[in-house]
Amino acid sequence: MPSSSPETASGKPAINWEAIEAQANFKSLIKKKVAFIVPCTVFFLAYYLALPVLAGYMPGLMKTKVFGEVNIAYLFALSQFFMAWIMAFLYVRAASQWDKAAAEVLAEAKL
């Protein structure tokens, strides 16, 4: 007798991705992820590319000494390491919330 839901080769019920995609919780999760990831990516690329652009078009500013032989270019380059760590921390924190929301989506889909 055929079952009410299609099964995979392992005998587990196949996942109905269309039903999951139609859930309000899933749509909300995707919107939250896009709202975080897109601005962060744009910011990161702009911040990362600012150093070579500034060094090329404003070398006088970048050569400005802050203390000793340390200039703005060195400080800006060093700040990119810290910015990457900060963004990674923020991403991990946001991803943990997304994991909880994904678990709710799966629970609602009864997987």
Q: pLDDT tens digits for 33-48?
A: 999 999 999 999 999 9
Q: What kind and span of H or E run contains 71?
A: strand 70-71
* Residue matched to tokens 């994991």: 99
* Residue 71 · residue 60 · CB < 8 Å: no
Query: Is residue 110 left, alpha or beta, with left meaning phi > 0 and alpha meaning psi from -120 to 50?
Result: left
Residues of the chain predicted below pLDDT 70: 1-8, 11, 13, 111
- One-letter-per-residue 3-state SS of 21-46: HHCHHHHHHHHHHHHHHHHHHHHHHH
- Sketch the domain layout of the chain as residue ranges: 24-109
